[in-house]
Structure 1
Amino acid sequence: MSHDDVGPRAVKRSVVFLTAGALAVPALAACSADEEVSKPVAAQDIAPAARTLLADGGTLRWAVDAVPGTLNTFQADSGAATTRVAGAVLPSMFRLDTNGRPEIDQDYLESAKVESTEPKQVVVYRLNKRAVWSDGRKIGADDFAAQWHALSGRDSAYWTARNAGYDRIEKVERGANSHEVKVTFGKQYADWRSLFSPLYPKDVTGSPNSFNDGARTGLKVTSGPFSVKNVDAKAGTITLARNPRWWGRSAKLSEIVLVAVPRDQRAAALAGGKIDMAEIDPEEAGRITFAAGNQGSTSLRGPSGTATADAASASAPAEPSGSAAEPSSAEPSSAGPGGESGASSGERQTLRGFALHKSLEPAYTQLALNGSRGPLSDERVRRAVARALDRKELAGLVLKPLGLPVVPVGSHLALSGQDAYADNSGALGEQDTAQAQTLLSEAGWVPGGPIKEEKKKTAGSEEKKSSEPSQKKSSEPSEKKSSGPEEKKTAGADATKAAGSDGKNAGGDDKGPRNEPGDPAQEHDQSGMPGAYAPKGTAAPAGTTGAVVAKDGKPLQLRFVLPSGAGSATLRTVGDRIARMLEKVGIRTEITKVPDDSYFKDHVAAGDYDLALYSWPASAYPATDARPIYAKPVPAADGSLSIEQNYTRIGTDQVDQLFAQAIASLDGKEERDLVRKADARIWAAAGSIPLYQRPQLTVTRSDLANAGSFGFQTPVYENMGFLKKGARPPASPSASPSS
C-alpha cells in the first residue's frame, strides 16, 4: 500500500528564530544564480516502438489499486485509477512531456495563449476543428463555461474537492467563431495551463446532480482514443474500448481493462497470467526476478534491456557497505528448498515472458517534522535533525539496489527536469554532526546532562495513546485511535551509559542490516552489527552513538510513526536508518509502527507524530498545487487550527507572500524565480526534508510496447500495443513512437 499516494490536488504557529535577512542572503543568492535547465534524473522506460511494428487489436489488462468510487477527478474520493481513465477518455488542453513540463495537446488544441493582460488577463483557446464528443457534438465554449461554473466555488451545490484557478475566472465565452473559447480572469493567474485538463462534457458539469452523481460509475459521453465501456465494481474491473469517433491516430489496442489487484498480490497475478502490466513495489520486483532468474531468464530487463540482477538485490539482506535495501518476502530465506522460488514451474515459465521497466516516479519521499508541539516547535532542533541526516545515504538505501541513480531531491516544489527545479538544500546545509550538536546546544539540549528516570512501563502500555494531545484543525477530523495495535521501540535509550559519563562518542560505523523496529518476532538482531536492536534494557554497544542530549532532566526523544504493512518495508528501512543517524547526535527516537489504514489519517493528518515519512507528487504547477502544502496555519473561527494540507504545521508569512506573487505573475521567468525563492525559505524552516525520488517499477509482457514506467510523461494511450509476430523493438531506449 502506498500512503505515500497523497496528491497536492486532494482536499500552533512555529517559532521562527532566523530573521528574514539571515534567510535571504545565502539561500536566495544560490537560487537566483542557478539558470541551467535541469534534466530528469532517470529517463522513462516504456519499450518504445514505432506504430508500424504494432499489431492492430488486443486487450491490455492493467493493474490498479482499486476501482475508484468516482470517475470525476474533481471529487474528493477520486484516485489514481480515476486519473488513468480520464487520461484515456477525456480531453486535456495540456499534457506533460518527458521533462514534466506542460505542452499543448494538438489533438484538442491548435493554440492557447494569453491574448492580453490589460485591463485583465484574457486567454484564447483555438480548438482542433475535428474535436468532437463521442455523441458527435463539437467540443466548444459551452463545455468550458459549464466546467468553470461547477468548479468556481460560487455554487455550493457542486461537491468539488478543488477549485484553484477556476475561482479566478471572471467569465468564459465564445470567441471569434465556434472553434474559439475566450476566458477572462478577474485576477491574474500564472498557472492557467492547468485548467480544463481534463475537460468534462457539459452533460457532466452542467448541473449539480450530474456533477455529483452522474459521473461516479460511468461516463456516457467522452472524447479520447478510448471510451468507457463498462465499470464492474464487483468484479473489480473498468473496461475501456476503442472510440470509433476518435479523429486522431487510431488506438492500437481494442480494449484496456483496468483490474483491481492489491500491490502485494501483483506478482502472483502476473505469474498466473491474469494481468499484463502492473506497477510493483521493490519487494515484488525482487520476487519476480528471483523466480524468473532461476530458469536462466534475462527477459526481466531494465531501461537498457539488460538483465536486472540489481532488482533481485533490492530484496536481499543488506550488506555492511551501507547500500542496504529494505527487507522483502523475496529473500532467499523465504524461498523453497535449494533456494528455489515458491512459484510453480508453470508460473516461472510465465514470468519469463515479462520485462521489468525501471524509472523514477514524479514524486518524492520526505521526512516530515511536526512543528506544532514538543522539541520540534524549536526551529533549532528541527535544523539539528536535518543536519544529522546523510540524505545521499538514505537515497542509496532505496535506489542503489535497483540500479537507479542515487541523487537526493534538492527541492520541495519541483523535481529535476522541471522548470522550477533548483537545488536549494544549501539553505539548510548538508550533513554535519558537529553543526547538529551545536544547534541542539544552542536550544538548551546538552549531552551528558542529568536525566530523571521515568517509571517503567507495564507490558500493556505499548498500546496506549501518546500522552501529548494532537492538534485539531478545521480541514481534518479530530484524532482517532489507531485501528490496530501500535508497536514501539526506543533507539538510544541507554546511549548515555554506553558513551560514558563524559558524553563522548568512541566512534564506530553506522552500517549493516538492522531488523525492523518493533518486530514482535525479533527480540534482538542476530547480525551482531553495531546499533542492532537488543532485548529491552540492554545497553547499546560502545561506539554506536553520541551521548543522549537532555534539558531540564528530560532526554530529547521524538516519536517516529511508520506504517506496518507489507508494502511499506521501504519506509521502515529508511526510518530505521534515520533513527540511527539521529542517535549519533544524541536524539532518541521512539519508533511506533501503526496499521496502514490509520497511518495517514489518524497520525500524519491528525498531527499525532513527531517524525513521519510520506511522499508528495511533483506538479507542473507548483505555485497553485504546492501552496496549500506549505501555507502558514491560521486559527479557524471555532478555535481550531486550519492547516489546509500543511501536515508539518510549519509556515511563514514570507513563503505565503512568495506563493501569492508567483501565482499572479504572467512572466514565466519571474514565476519560476519566485517559486525557487519560496523553496529556499521552506528548506530553511526545516519543516520537511526531501530525501529521494521514488522508484517506479513496472512489469509488462515483453511484447507490450510504448508502456511501462512513464516517469513524468502523460501516457499516450493510442500508441500502446503488442508487437506483431516476429517484430523486435528498437535496441535504443531513446527511440520514440511514430505514426
Structure 2
Amino acid sequence: MSHDGVGLRAVMRSVAFLTAGALAVPALAGCSAKDPAGKPLAEPDVAPVARAMVADGGSLGWAVDSVPETLNTFQADADGTTTRVAQAVLPSMYRLDANGRPQVNPDYLEKAEVVETEPKQVVLYKLNQQAVWSDGREIGAADFAAQWRALSGKDTAYWTARNAGYDRIERIERGKNDLEVKVTFGRPYADWKSLFSPLYPKDVMGTPDSFNDGARKKLKVSAGPYRVKKVDRKDDEVTLDRNPRWWGHPAKLDEIVLRAVPREERAAALAAGKLDLAEIDPESVKRITGAAGPKRGTGSTPLMGPGSNLGAADSLRSWAVANGSDEEAADDEISAREQQRTAAAAYARQQQALRGFEVRRSLEPAYTQLALNGADGPLADERVRRAVARALDREALASVVLTPLGLPAEPVGSHLALSGQAAYADNSGALGGQDTAEAQALLTDAGWVRGGPLKEETKKGEKAAGAEGEKSRDKSEDGDDDTYIVGEDDKARREADREKKKDPKHLAQDGKQYTNKLKQGGAPGAYAPRGTAAPAGTAAGALAKDGKPLTLRFVLPSGPGSQTLGTVADRISEMLRKVGIRTEISKVKDESYFKDHIASGQYDLALYSWPASAFPATDGRPIYAKPVPAADGSLNVEQNYTRVGTDQVDQLFDQAMTTLDERESRGLIRKADSRIWAAAGSIPLYQRPQLTAARKNVVNAGAFGFRTPVYEDIGFLKKGARPVASPTAE
C-alpha cells in the first residue's frame, strides 16, 4: 500500500481550530478578474487515442492495493478498489473532468438542474431513456428514492458510513414521466451534484439486510460498461467482464482483472506478465526507466539490481574470503556469491521484460500535509504552531519529492481544493511564508527561551537514555518504535563515521554491513534508535520553558513505500532545528500508524494525505470542524485529527453548503480556507505524484490525474496505430 497517507474519496467518506481572528486575512482573490483556480499543475498522462484505434478484446491486468471487503461504497470499510469497481459497473450522474470539476455523464443523465429555490430547493433529473439495469429494468425514481431512504440517517438499521446531503432531502418522486426524477430538499444543499454517484439499484438499497450484507461480496445487478463477474479472495482478484445490456459505446476489453499486488512487488509482477497497468513507487520508476536504456546524451545507465551497490573494497574482500584458508568461511562466501549471481540473472531477465513498459506521470487529486496536533503539549499554543509553519520552506519540500520525478514542484496553496478545481485559491498568505526571524519571535512570545534551565529529572532522563541505548536498539529492530533526535544523533553518527574512516581495517570488514544499512534505512546518518546517546553539550542552545525542552514527537510509518515520507520528515526536522525546535522521529508499524497514532492523537507532528474533493463544502467540513464534547465526555473530532478548529470556520462551511449561488459558495470556501491557514493546524505541502507503469500498447489509461476513467475506452492499441503523446508523457 501507499504510505503517503489516507486514501481518496472512498476512504474520506468512510472514516467515522483555536480562533485566528486577530490575524490579518487578505482579501479574497475571487474578487479579482483573474480566476484564482488556475489550471491543473499536470495533465492526465493516459496515451489517449480515438476508440477506432483501440483493438476489440483482450484482458487487462490492473494492480490494486487489495480485494475490497465490500462492494458498497457507502459502508465504512469501503476502499479505493471499491470505488474503482463502482466506477466501472454502476451509474454516476456526474464524473470529473481533467480540471477536477463535475460534468454531466450523458450515458445516464440528459440534464439536471435546480428548477425551484422557493419555498424549497427542487432538482429535476432527466435520465437517458436507454439507461437500464442489467436485469432489463429502467433506471428511475424508485432507485433514487431507495438510496435516499437508506442514506438519510433516519433508519439506523442501515449501517452507513455517511449521509451528507441525503439527510437534507425531504422527498423524491416521479416527474412528468418515467425518465424524470424530482428531488425536493428540506434544507438548501449547494453540493447536490455529489448525490447519486454512484447509484445502486433498489434491490441493494431497499432493505437494511440487502444494504448491509447483500452488496458486500457481489453485485447481482449493475448498469455500467462492465459487470462484476467474480470476486476471488483466494487468488486476490476481482474480474469485471462486458455488460451485455450496456447501451453506450461497447467496452473494448473482454475483461478487466483487478489484482491485489503489494507496491513493492509490482515491478516483478509486471515483468512476469501478471499486470499491464499498475501505480508504482519511485524505486520502480527507476527500474522501468533504467530498463529502457540510457537517455539520449547520457551515455550510460546506472547499475541496478543485486550487487550493484557493492564497491571495489567489498568485491576484493569477497574474493579474498572465497579463496582464503578458512574453508568454512570460503564455502559460505562461495554460496553467497552464487546466490547473488542467480539473483542478478533473474533481475536481468525482469529488466528485459520491463522494456515493454513505460511510466506515465501526473499528480494525484490529493495532497500531503504536515499535521500539528493542537490538543495538548506545546502545539496547543497557536503561536508555536504558527512558528512551526513559518519555519518551513514549502517550495523546497515540494521540490525534494517532485523534481526528481519530472513533475511540477509547486507547494499546495489550499486545504480544500487543488490548482484547477473551481474552489482553489492560494490562501497561504493568511499564515505567511518561510521566515526564520518571525518563527523565532513567535516562540519567544510563547515563552520558549534558548538555553533556558532544564529540570534535574530531565537531565537524569537524558543520562538514562544513553545507558539504555542497547535496549532501545533491540526494540527498534523489531519495528515497534525507531526514534532519533534530529541534530544531536546526526552529529553522533557523523563523529562515529569519522572515527571509523581513521581505521583502515573497518573499510573492508564493515562494507557489507554498511551496504545492508543503506538498503534498510536510506542514507547514513538519517536514523538512530531511541536511546542513542547525544554528544555532550548539544542541548545547551535548545529552547526551553518551565524546565522542559521544546521537543516534538514526529510519527511516521515504517513499512515499504514510506521512504518519501522519511525524506520529507528529515528536511522538516532540519528546518525546525534552525529555529530551536527539536524533533524525535518515531517510526511505527504501518497497521498502527493511522488508527493508533493519527486518529487517536498520539503524535505532535505527522505526515499524511487528504483527497481534494470536487465538493469541499460537504467533504471538507468534517476534516476541519471544531471538535465538540460527546455525550460520554470524550471529544468528537470527526476527521479533524489535528484537533484544531474554530466556530468561524464551521459557520463558513455551513453557509457555503446552503448557498445555491456557485460563485458565492466558492468565495465562502476560500474564506474558510484562509481561516484554516491562519489557525495552523495543518500545513499543505505538495500534491502527491501519480506514477503508473503501463504496457506500451495500453491506451486511454495510466495516470488519470483528476479525470474519472472512461472504462469502455480503455484497451490495447491496434497494430500499426500510434497514440497521441500527452504533455507529461515520457
Q: Report the CA distance shift for 1:642/1:253 in structure 2 as closer, same or farther (over 3 A).
A: same
Contact 1:165 1:195 in 2 (8 A): yes
Q: What is the aligned partner in structure 1 of residue 242 from structure 2? A: 242
Q: What is the aligned partner in structure 2 of residue 10 from structure 1? A: 14
Q: Report the CA distance shift for 1:354/1:297 in structure 2 as closer, same or farther (over 3 A).
A: farther
Find the aligned partners of 1:309 and 1:627 in 2 and give their Cα distance: 53
Find the aligned partners of 2:519 and 2:170 in 1 and give their Cα distance: 64
Q: What is the aligned partner in structure 1 of residue 426 from structure 2? A: 423
Match status 1:226 vs 2:226? yes
Q: What is the aligned partner in structure 1 of residue 315 from structure 2? A: none
Contact 1:125 1:182 in 2 (8 A): yes
Match status 1:696 vs 2:700? no
Q: What is the aligned partner in structure 2 of residue 488 from structure 1? A: 483
Q: What is the aligned partner in structure 2 of residue 536 from structure 1? A: 532
Q: What SS class does the counterpart of residue 434 from structure 1 fall into?
A: helix
Find the aligned partners of 2:522 and 2:688 in 1 and give their Cα distance: 30
Pair member with larger Rg: 2
Letter of the 2:256 counterpart: I
Q: What is the aligned partner in structure 2 of residue 393 from structure 1? A: 396
Find the aligned partners of 1:214 and 1:488 in 2 and give their Cα distance: 46
Output one character per residue of 1:216-239: Cα deviation in whole Å (capped at 9) or x when no partner. Answer: 111110001111111111111111
Q: What is the aligned partner in structure 1 of residue 192 from structure 2? A: 192
One of 715, 718, 730 as aligned partner of 1:724? 718
In the TM superposition, 1:492-641 aligns within 5 A as 492-493=487-488, 521=517, 536-539=532-535, 547-641=541-635
Find the aligned partners of 1:334 and 1:124 in 2 and give their Cα distance: 68
Letter of the 2:668 counterpart: L
CA shift for structure 1 position 547 = 3.3
Contact 1:91 1:197 in 2 (8 A): yes
Deviates more, 1:29-38 or 1:584-593: 29-38
Q: What is the aligned partner in structure 2 of residue 121 from structure 1? A: 121
Q: What is the aligned partner in structure 2 of residue 383 from structure 1? A: 386
Letter of the 1:57 counterpart: G
In the TM superposition, 1:355-504 aligns within 5 A as 355-452=358-455, 453-455=459-461, 456-457=464-465, 458-459=468-469, 462=472, 485-493=480-488
Output one character per residue of 1:705-728: Cα deviation in whole Å (capped at 9) or x when no partner. Answer: 000000000000011010112222
Q: What is the aligned partner in structure 1 of residue 158 from structure 2? A: 158
Q: What SS class does the counterpart of residue 235 from structure 2 fall into?
A: coil
Q: Report the CA distance shift for 1:134/1:496 in structure 2 as closer, same or farther (over 3 A).
A: closer
Deviates more, 1:432-441 or 1:718-727: 718-727
Contact 2:150 2:208 in 1 (8 A): yes
Find the aligned partners of 2:298 and 2:211 in 1 and give their Cα distance: 46
Output one character per residue of 1:505-542: Cα deviation in whole Å (capped at 9) or x when no partner. Answer: xxxxxxxxxxxxxx99489999899x997993354999
Q: Report the CA distance shift for 1:496/1:192 in structure 2 as closer, same or farther (over 3 A).
A: same
Find the aligned partners of 1:205 and 1:567 in 2 and give their Cα distance: 38
Match status 1:653 vs 2:650? no
Deviates more, 1:660-669 or 1:345-354: 345-354
Q: What SS class does the counterpart of residue 134 from structure 2 fall into?
A: coil
Contact 2:489 2:532 in 1 (8 A): no
* Identical aligned residues as a percent: 64
Find the aligned partners of 1:236 and 1:309 in 2 and give their Cα distance: 42
Q: What is the aligned partner in structure 1 of residue 84 from structure 2? A: 84
Q: What SS class does the counterpart of residue 333 from structure 1 fall into?
A: coil
Q: What SS class does the counterpart of residue 677 from structure 2 fall into?
A: helix
Q: Report the CA distance shift for 1:53/1:682 in structure 2 as closer, same or farther (over 3 A).
A: same
Q: Report the CA distance shift for 1:35/1:9 in structure 2 as closer, same or farther (over 3 A).
A: same
Q: What SS class does the counterpart of residue 286 from structure 1 fall into?
A: helix
Contact 2:75 2:159 in 1 (8 A): yes
Q: What is the aligned partner in structure 1 of residue 98 from structure 2? A: 98
- What root-mean-square deviation, in Å, do the aligned CA atoms of Structure 1 and Structure 2 show? 3.3
One of 666, 675, 678 as aligned partner of 1:684? 678
CA shift for structure 1 position 10 = 1.8
Q: Report the CA distance shift for 1:463/1:376 in structure 2 as closer, same or farther (over 3 A).
A: farther
CA shift for structure 1 position 395 = 0.6
Q: What is the aligned partner in structure 1 of residue 284 from structure 2? A: 284
Output one character per residue of 1:332-363: Cα deviation in whole Å (capped at 9) or x when no partner. Answer: 5289989x966444322211111110000000
Q: What is the aligned partner in structure 2 of residue 206 from structure 1? A: 206
Contact 2:28 2:671 in 1 (8 A): no
Q: Report the CA distance shift for 1:224/1:461 in structure 2 as closer, same or farther (over 3 A).
A: same
Q: What is the aligned partner in structure 2 of residue 468 from structure 1? A: none
Q: What SS class does the counterpart of residue 417 from structure 2 fall into?
A: coil
Q: What is the aligned partner in structure 1 of residue 41 from structure 2? A: 41
CA shift for structure 1 position 494 = 8.4
Q: What SS class does the counterpart of residue 88 from structure 1 fall into?
A: helix
Letter of the 1:563 counterpart: P
Q: What is the aligned partner in structure 2 of residue 319 from structure 1? A: none
In the TM superposition, 1:122-141 aligns within 5 A as 122-141=122-141
CA shift for structure 1 position 287 = 2.6
Letter of the 2:620 counterpart: A
Q: What SS class does the counterpart of residue 712 from structure 1 fall into?
A: coil
CA shift for structure 1 position 178 = 0.4
Match status 1:349 vs 2:347? no
Q: What SS class does the counterpart of residue 258 from structure 1 fall into?
A: strand
CA shift for structure 1 position 29 = 4.4
Deviates more, 1:386-395 or 1:280-289: 280-289
CA shift for structure 1 position 493 = 4.3
Q: Report the CA distance shift for 1:164/1:546 in structure 2 as closer, same or farther (over 3 A).
A: farther
Letter of the 1:445 counterpart: W
Find the aligned partners of 1:178 and 1:426 in 2 and give their Cα distance: 52
Q: Report the CA distance shift for 1:144/1:524 in structure 2 as closer, same or farther (over 3 A).
A: closer
Q: Unaligned regions of 5+ residues in structure 2, if any?
A: 312-336, 493-514
Q: Report the CA distance shift for 1:587/1:342 in structure 2 as closer, same or farther (over 3 A).
A: farther
CA shift for structure 1 position 284 = 1.9
CA shift for structure 1 position 490 = 1.2
Q: What SS class does the counterpart of residue 587 from structure 2 fall into?
A: strand
Output one character per residue of 1:488-515: Cα deviation in whole Å (capped at 9) or x when no partner. Answer: 1112448999xxxxxxxxxxxxxxxxxx
Q: Report the CA distance shift for 1:655/1:276 in structure 2 as closer, same or farther (over 3 A).
A: same
Q: What SS class does the counterpart of residue 123 from structure 1 fall into?
A: strand
**Which protein is richer in helix relative to its size?**
2
Find the aligned partners of 2:428 and 2:483 in 1 and give their Cα distance: 32
Q: What SS class does the counterpart of residue 666 from structure 2 fall into?
A: helix
Per the normalisation by structure 1, the TM-score is: 0.85
Number of aligned residue pairs: give it. Answer: 666
Q: Unaligned regions of 5+ residues in structure 1, if any?
A: 299-305, 317-327, 466-481, 498-518
Letter of the 1:102 counterpart: P
CA shift for structure 1 position 26 = 3.1
Contact 1:492 1:540 in 2 (8 A): no
Q: What SS class does the counterpart of residue 216 from structure 1 fall into?
A: helix
Contact 2:518 2:524 in 1 (8 A): no
Q: Report the CA distance shift for 1:540/1:574 in structure 2 as closer, same or farther (over 3 A).
A: farther
Match status 1:27 vs 2:26? yes
